[in-house]
Amino acid sequence: MPAVPEGIAEHAAILRSDARVLAECAERLREIEARLEAAGVAPPWLRTSMEAHLAACAAASDDLTQAAATLRHYAERTRP
């Protein structure tokens, strides 16, 4: 079992990685929508939904980045 600061730092690293994943998700969502629009098969409601998801992914990515940064700082402060 990792020591306390290392444990917190591990969480921070995972969240930092997740923030990147969320940003990639936003990019994938944009591509999916574009693909369906280009093929002319996108349902009329899709754009609104996808825009909401995109914005949420971007915001979630920011939140996770922020959480990772505060955790990293927290881990530093708890080192003996």
Partner 1 sequence: MSGEKDGDAALLRAAARELADIGVMIREASVHATAALTEGAALGAVARAPAAGCLAQRALLRAVTNGRGLGYAFSGGVLGTLAAKLGAMVGGESLAVRVLATSLRLRIAAVALDHPELTGDPMLARLVEAAAADRDLEAVRALRVLLRDRGAVRTLSELAPVFGEVLALRALLDENPLNDATAWLIATGKGYATADPITGMSNRAIAVLDTGEGAARRVDLAALESARLSRSGSLLGFLRNISLLGTTGRILIQSVEGQDGVTRHIVQAPGMQAGQPDNDSPQDLLGAFSSAVLDSSPYSRALARAVDDYGLPHGAELALVGHSAGGAAIMNLVQDAGFCARHTVTHAVAVGSPIDFKRPADPRTWIASVTNQHDIIPTLDGQGAGGCFDLHPDWYVVDYSDPTHLFPLCHGIEHYIANLADDLPEAHARIDGQLTPYQGRVVRSQAYQLFDRAPCPEGFPFLTVPTYPAETPGGTIELPVRCQDGGALTAYFAAEQGAAADLLKGTGLGPAVRLAGRALVVVHASWNRRTSLGAYREVHLGVVVPDPWRPGSPRVWPDLPRGADRRRSGSFMAGSIVDTGLACAVAPRLWGGEPYMAPVEFELTDRAARVAVGGLEDRLLVLSGSLGPWLPASDRDLVGYMRSADATLRSCVRTSGPGRVHPAPRVRLTVGQAAHPLAGRLRELGLDGARPLLCLSTPVRQTLQDACVPVPIG
Interface residues with partner 1 (CB under 8 A) are 2, 4-5, 7-8, 11-12, 14-15, 18, 21-22, 25, 28-29, 32, 35-36, 39, 41, 43, 45-46, 49-50, 52-53, 55-57, 59-60, 62-64, 66-67, 69-71, 73-74, 76-78
Measure the CA–CA gap between 13 and 19, rounded to whole angstroms.
10
CA angle 17, 65, 62 (to 5 degrees): 115
Measure the CA–CA gap between 37 and 80, rounded to whole angstroms.
56
Provide, rounded to whole angstroms, the least separation between the CB of residue 65 and partner 1: 9
